[in-house]
């Protein structure tokens, strides 16, 4: 029986395929088996809960129910918004019997039910707490020595509950970056909000929030920002040119997923980690680590 | 003030809802409605905590959007307790909330502030007499649920196009270059995938809608 059920989420299917590709690769490399949740549906993110709480929990619970039925005990949700939404659905069902009953009565209509045995986890949690940093350290063959990485947690990975790490002063992401040889830099905005989906509704506000994050990382001398949330990646990467124009600043700060950097350290190629999908190209700052790959190849 | 009203207001005081005498006169006609409003908020999961707000302002100080809000989160809690239903539900406060949960983890009274913001959105949408200050977030949610009802998943490209068409099509032009850049990198698949259980998802959503009507 495979312990981990994988919930990619809508964004990893389209705008952030890079996260999906790189995360699957490193899990495979580290020898952790996971199985996609069969025919999963959108978790509803922050949209449903603003319409109806029950709707939000029910739609999320369909995924948990399918995972539970397949015999999995943990669900891995790479997108921070999915992670929070699924976990919240689970927690509220466990905490409030009315919600539990309501959600299950809806699920019964389509022949499902959710008992509540699933643990929802983020990829960082799985790699750091379940797999363990020692195992990662042994697997690293291309350490990213001297790469100054700003670890951007964002909001929904560490809040609202103290599950994976401290909600305001988390440390585990940095530990992982140290393990793969990189040099994490502390920057004040690392747990601040990038503006998330308000980029579509209140663009100015979201751009300003993203600018703060980017600028803060730049000021602390980071070469690259690593994130674990697809929404953050889009806001900081795809909108970066707009931000530069809007606020008349020069940033040129590549933003990639932590899994892409880990993959690189495990000696996967630049393209294999889909690093070419970033809008602000990380090629220049990652150049030194690509060279050593070439040497390895030639040396063979 | 009639005896009945007096008794009512004493009851409310006992429940921890403070109504200043100055407002009391204007509020009396709305008394019943406001009462429902508190009850709705109190009865949501964790909502009873709202009574325990000590007006410390930690939430407003932590909120990245409070400078744009009509009333900061702290003010909203005071207004909820003062029964200012219309002012609360017609404000832009909850619509500017980005769900960052900063206030939530810091509130010394343990109020699930972000959840209250969601609840306020729901109440504002449900009450047709309330004017929502801006229709963009509403369109956002409508387009989102339309996508999921149809396909079971959200195709971001189509969703974004739908959303801009329903709000401000010209804004889409501004993003054309970015869209193309994403597209070239294979990050903008334009064909939504329909899941096998799309009908099941639709059934679930309609069932819940029916139950809540
Ligand atoms: S942080 Fe909590 S207790 Fe303080 S003002 Fe805000 S809601 Fe009230
Ligand atoms: S969750 Fe909403 S109200 Fe609370 S700090 Fe964040 S944006 Fe402000």
Q: What CATH code is carried by the domain that includes residue B108?
A: 1.10.1060
User: What's the CA gap between A190 and A102, in Å, rounded?
Assistant: 38
> Domains in chain A and their CATH numbers?
4-121 (1.20.1050.140), 138-298 (3.40.50.11810)
| Whether residues B12 and B102 fall in one domain | yes
Q: How far apart are CA A58 and CA A76, in angstroms?
A: 19
Clarify whether residues B114 and B156 are in a common domain.
no
- Using a CB–CB cutoff of 8 Å, tell me whether A152 touches chain B: no
In terms of domains, do B118 and B182 share one?
no
Distance between Cα B60 and ligand 2 center (Å): 8
Q: Give the model's confidence band at B25: pLDDT under 50 very low, under 70 low, under 90 confident, else very high.
A: low
- pLDDT tens for each residue of B68-88: 999 999 999 998 888 788 889
Q: Which of A48, A155, A201 sits opposite B145 (nearest CB)?
A: A48
* CA-nearest residue, atom 4 of ligand 2: B103
Buried b (16+ CB within 10 A) or exposed e, A142-179: bbbeebbbbbbbbbbbbbbeebbbebeebebbbbbbeb
**Most informative mutation of B41, B49, B55, B61 for ligand 1 (most atoms within 8 A of CB):** B55
How far apart, in whole angstroms, are the C-alpha atoms of residue A282 and residue A260? 11
The answer on B109 and B42 residing in a single domain is yes
Structural domain boundaries, residue B28:
3-126
- State the Cα–Cα distance between residues B197 and A42, nearest whole angstrom: 11
Model confidence over B150-167: pLDDT tens digits?
888 887 777 777 777 777
- Residues B166 and B116 grouped into a single domain: no
Question: Do B106 and B27 reside in the same domain of the chain?
Answer: yes
pLDDT of residue B129: 84
Determine the pLDDT at residue A135: 92
Which pLDDT value is given to residue A300?
38
Q: What is the model's pLDDT at position A145?
A: 92
Which ligand lies nearest to the CA atom of residue B49 in the structure? 1
| Of the residues B99, B126, B153, the one at which a domain ends | B126
**Last residue within a domain, chosen from B92, B126, B160:** B126
Q: Indicate whether this model's pTM tops 0.80.
A: yes
Q: Give the C-alpha separation, B26 to B35, whole Å.
A: 14
Is the CB of residue B103 below 6 angstroms from any atom belonging to ligand 2?
yes
How far, in Å, CA of A28 to CA of A17, rounded?
17
Q: Quick one: average pLDDT of B116-140?
A: 84
Q: Pick from B119, B124, B126, B154 the residue to mutate for testing the A interface (most A CBs within 10 Å).
A: B154
The residue from B96, B126, B156 where one domain ends is B126
Q: Is A109 within 8 Å of B207 when comparing Cβ atoms?
A: yes
For chain A, what percent of residues have pLDDT higher than 90?
63
Which pair of tokens denotes residue B98? 């980005």
B48 lies in the same domain as B146: no
Kindly state the average pLDDT of the residues A185-212: 88
pLDDT value, residue A151? 94
pLDDT digits (tens, 9 = 90+) for A269-279: 999 999 998 99
Nearest to A103 by CA among A56, A160, A146: A56
Write the residue in B125, B140, B155 that is nearest to A201 by C-beta: B140
Q: Residues B141, B168: one domain?
A: yes
The continuous run of DSSP H or E covering A22 comes out as helix A17-29
How many domains, in total, are found in chain B? 2
Residues B117 and B142 reside in one and the same domain: no
Nearest to B178 among A49, A201, A238 (CB): A238
Interface of A with B in 197-226 (CB under 8 A): 197-198, 200-203, 205-206, 209
The C-alpha of B91 sits at a distance from chain A's nearest C-alpha, in angstroms, of 15
The residue-averaged pLDDT of B103-121 equals: 91
Pocket test for ligand 2, best of B65, B69, B109 (most atoms within 8 A of CB): B65
Q: Do B120 and B141 fall within a single domain? A: no
Q: What is the mean pLDDT of chain A?
A: 89
- List, as one string, the DSSP characters of chain B: --HHHHHHHHHHHHTT----HHHHHHHGGGHHHHHHHHHHHHHSTTGGGGGG-----HHHHH-TTGGGSSS-HHHHHHHHHTT-HHHHHTSSTGGG-----HHHHH-TT---HHHHHHHHHHHHHH-TTSPPS-SHHHHHHHHHHHHHHHHSS--HHHHHHHHHHHH-HHHHHHTHHHHHHHHHTT----SPPPPTTHHHHHHHHHHHHHHH-
The verdict on B22 and B119 lying in the same domain is yes
- State the DSSP H helix or E strand holding residue A128, giving kind and residue range, or none if neither: none
Say if residue B9 is in the same domain as residue B110: yes
Strands annotated E in chain A: 4-6, 34-36, 74-76, 119-121, 148-152, 183-185, 224-227, 255-257
For the cut 50, the answer to whether the pLDDT of residue B120 exceeds it is yes
Mean pLDDT, chain B, whole residue set: 80
Distance B20 CA to ligand 1 centre (A): 20
Residue B168 confidence (pLDDT): 74
Ligand 1 atom nearest B50 alpha carbon: 7
Measured between alpha carbons, how far is residue B167 from residues A133, B67, B136 in Å?
Answer: 47, 24, 6
Q: pLDDT > 90: what percent of chain B?
A: 19
Q: Is B62 in the pocket of ligand 2 (CB under 6 A)?
A: yes
Nearest CA to ligand 2 atom 3: B97
Q: 């797999």: which residue's tokens?
A: A131
Instruction: Kindly determine whether residue A39 and residue B160, on different chains, have CB atoms separated by under 8 Å.
Output: no
Which residues lie closer than 8 Å to B197 by C-beta, 6 or more apart? A39, A41, A62, A110, B152
């Amino acid at each position: 029986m495979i312990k981990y059920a994988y919930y990619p989420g809508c964004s990893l299917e389209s705008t952030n395929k890079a996260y999906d590709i790189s995360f699957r690769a490193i899990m495979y490399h580290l020898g952790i088996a996971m199985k996609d949740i069969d025919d999963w549906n959108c978790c509803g993110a922050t949209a449903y809960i603003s319409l109806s709480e029950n709707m939000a929990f029910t739609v999320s619970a369909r995924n948990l129910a399918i995972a539970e039925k397949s015999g999995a005990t943990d669900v891995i949700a790479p997108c921070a918004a999915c992670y929070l939404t699924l976990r919240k659905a689970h927690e509220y069902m466990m905490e409030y019997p009315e919600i539990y009953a309501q959600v299950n009565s809806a699920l019964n209509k389509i022949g499902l039910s959710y008992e509540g045995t699933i643990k929802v986890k983020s990829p960082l949690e799985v790699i750091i707490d379940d797999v363990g940093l020692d195992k990662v350290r042994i697997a690293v063959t291309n350490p990213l020595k001297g790469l100054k990485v700003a670890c951007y947690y964002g909001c929904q990975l560490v809040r609202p509950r103290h599950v994976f790490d401290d909600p305001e002063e988390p440390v585990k992401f940095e530990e992982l970056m140290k393990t793969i040889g990189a040099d994490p830099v502390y920057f004040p905005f690392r747990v601040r909000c990038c503006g998330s989906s308000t980029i579509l509704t209140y663009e100015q506000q979201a751009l300003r929030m993203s600018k703060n994050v980017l600028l803060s990382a730049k000021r602390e001398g980071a070469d690259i920002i690593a994130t674990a949330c697809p929404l953050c990646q889009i806001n900081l990467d795809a909108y970066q040119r707009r931000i530069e124009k809007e606020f008349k600043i020069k940033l040129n700060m590549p933003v990639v997923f932590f899994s892409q950097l880990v993959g690189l350290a495990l000696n996967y190629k630049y393209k294999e980690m889909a690093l070419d999908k970033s809008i602000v190209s990380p090629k220049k700052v990652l150049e030194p680590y690509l060279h050593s790959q070439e040497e390895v190849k030639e040396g063979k | 003030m009639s005896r009945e009203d007096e008794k009512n207001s004493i009851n409310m005081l006992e429940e921890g809802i403070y109504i200043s005498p100055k407002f009391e006169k204007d509020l009396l006609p709305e008394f019943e409605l406001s009462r429902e409003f508190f009850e709705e908020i109190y009865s949501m999961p964790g909502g009873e905590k709202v009574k325990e707000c000590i007006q410390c302002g930690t939430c407003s100080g932590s909120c990245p959007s409070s400078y744009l809000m009509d009333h900061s989160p702290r003010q909203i809690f005071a207004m909820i307790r003062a029964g200012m239903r219309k002012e609360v539900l017609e404000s832009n406060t909850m619509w500017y909330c980005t769900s960052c949960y900063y206030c939530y983890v810091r509130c010394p009274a343990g109020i699930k502030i972000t959840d209250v913001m969601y609840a306020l959105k729901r109440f504002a949408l449900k009450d047709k007499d309330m004017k929502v200050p801006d229709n963009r977030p509403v369109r956002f949610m409508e387009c989102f649920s339309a996508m999921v009802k149809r396909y079971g998943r959200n195709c971001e490209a189509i969703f974004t196009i739908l959303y801009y068409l329903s709000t401000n099509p010209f804004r889409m032009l501004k993003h054309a270059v970015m869209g193309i850049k994403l597209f070239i990198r294979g990050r903008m698949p334009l064909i939504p995938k329909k899941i096998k259980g799309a009908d099941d998802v639709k059934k679930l959503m309609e069932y819940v809608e029916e139950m809540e009507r």
